[in-house]
Structure 1
Amino acid sequence: METMRHPTGAASAWDDSATRVAWKKLFNFAVAGQILWPAVCVGAFVLMILVGQWSMWIMLPVVVYALYRSFLQRRYIVAAAQARRILQVYPWQTHKSPESGIGQIPGAKLGDVWLAFPNPDRSDDAVRVILHGHAGSAWWRRRLGRGYESEKSAQVAEIWFAGDPRFAGVIAVPGPERLFLLYQLVTPNARADGGRGASPEALELARRAGVRVSA
């Protein structure tokens, strides 16, 4: 896996104007969904009442799905806010064809897609990060971990990463586009870095990026 510092050489990803534009798109999409989905839910419910009982079979699934997305949308807003803090601390790195897979690693469920990035303190140690599932990960999950070349996998032949894979990070395709938040799940009584011996400097960067670390 080939890794290099982003060619702009910016101190942080946030210093790149294109990154700020991409993040604003991510945040605006999340906020728009928080307005749209409750409106769809209420509108479908009202229409179901006005039209009559026969429309229930059509409108009820719409109401249920819109209600589900209304509750889920808060996660998009929180994720966007977390992504911004990470982008303000870490620079972009470019990764050519990073290792990825589906399942078969500790902590991964059947069908979980993961990516591997080098440990910042030990370049020979690959740290795997699971793309925790929700609607926003669908685009990435359809293109990673297949183990064979395809038109879709070619779209992620180069991935930008800002963060520390032992804690959290943001991935994107060149541009950047398709920003997506990655994070490690920390179980009780486990080290925040998964036992990989993060240096004091790495821990301090993670704290500045909003990651809770106990080490």
Structure 2
Amino acid sequence: MLPTDHPTAWAHPPTRRAWRKHILLHLIALVGWIALWFALLAVLVVFLSPGYAIIFVPFLLYSFYRAFLQLFATPIALRTRRVLREYPWRLFSDPPNGLGDRTDVVGQQCGWFEFPNPARPEEQLPMVFPSHWAVGWWHRRMAPRTKAVIKAQIRVVWLAGDPRFIGVIAAPTSNGTAPRRFRFLTQQMEKTEEYQSVTDWGATAEDIERGRRAGVNSGRS
């Protein structure tokens, strides 16, 4: 069965396997950076004189920083699973995207994709990466000067979610049967005279409730 044939992305077995691998790698990285910090500290304290501190301090700070960042990866992975459990996959060919900031989006942004409004398919809505953490793989393929063979890896983008609220994107594996590189996206359009709430985008009470089950903040509605 195609990934789009399942009622939710989570019902697609390769998606569940990919997500488990996704969170496992985050946990391994967290343990690894913590272990490296303690190992460096032990080497400095036990085996070296204080004069070597100036060499080790940058490595200690960097490993602490990376471990600190990894602490945020698990909550995001759990939010990702929540979205996958609520929405089915939809596949989009060459969705508009970019790295520059958009004036119609508020808050932090570090890259965006546009997807059609489910209620009005002719209307494109931007969704942004809410943080810079761990989006380098996507950024390299979204950059204007990236080679075509590299850009081709995101020519087809999988989306689970509703562009009016929240979503998770993934790139397909080489055989196109499983997702990889999960990334969390949010809707952060600035309110205008035409847009005051998601109901102006055709969202129904059922759509709003589904979004809340997927983890959307009630302020988005």
* Normalised TM-score (structure 1): 0.86
SS across alignment from 1:103: coil
Q: What count of residue pairs does the alignment treat as equivalent?
A: 209
Unaligned 5+ runs, structure 1 = 1-5
Shift of 1:34: 2.5
Shift of 1:196: 3.2
Matched, 1:179 2:187: no
Rounded Cα–Cα distance in structure 2 between residues aligned with 1:55 and 1:94: 54
Q: Distance in 1 between matches of 2:70 and 2:201?
A: 33
Partner of 1:200: 205
Q: In 2, Cα distance between the equivalents of 1:65 and 1:178?
A: 24
Is 1:28 matched up with 2:50?
Answer: no
Q: Does 1:97 align with 2:94?
A: yes
For 1:157 and 1:144, the matched residues in 2 are separated by 10
Q: Does 1:212 align with 2:217?
A: yes
Q: Cα deviations across residues 15-46 of structure 1 (Å, max 9, x unaligned)?
A: 01000001001111122222222211121122
What pairs with 1:1-215 in structure 2 (closer than 5 Å)? 8-50=4-46, 51-106=48-103, 107=105, 112-146=110-144, 150-174=148-172, 175-185=178-188, 193=198, 196-214=201-219, 215=221
Moved more, 162-171 or 196-205: 196-205
How far apart in 2 are the matches of 1:117 and 1:147? 23
Could you tell me which residue of structure 2 aligns to residue 3 of structure 1? none
**What secondary structure, in the 3-state scheme, does the structure 2 residue paired with 1:136 have?**
coil
- For structure 2, which runs of at least 5 residues remain unmatched after alignment? 173-177
How many Å apart are 1:192 and its aligned residue? 6.4
Letter aligned with residue 59 of structure 1: F
Q: Which AA in structure 1 matches 2:142?
A: L
2:58 aligns to what SS in structure 1? helix
Q: Say if 1:108 and 1:130, in contact at 8 Å, map to a contact too.
A: no
1:110-153 Cα shifts (integer Å, max 9, x gaps) = 99321111111211111111223333111001111527762221
Distance 2:93 2:186 in 1: 21
Q: Counterpart amino acid of 1:91?
A: P
* CA separation of 1:76 and 1:48: change in aligned 2, threshold 3 A: same
The Cα of 1:200 is off from its aligned counterpart by: 1.4
Q: Is the 8 A contact 2:86 2:210 kept in 1?
A: yes
Q: Does the 8 A contact of 2:9 with 2:160 survive in 1?
A: yes
- Structure 1 stretches of 4+ moved >6 Å: 108-111
Which structure shows the higher strand fraction?
1
Letter in 1 for 2:138: W
Matched-pair identity in %: 32
SS at match of 1:85: helix
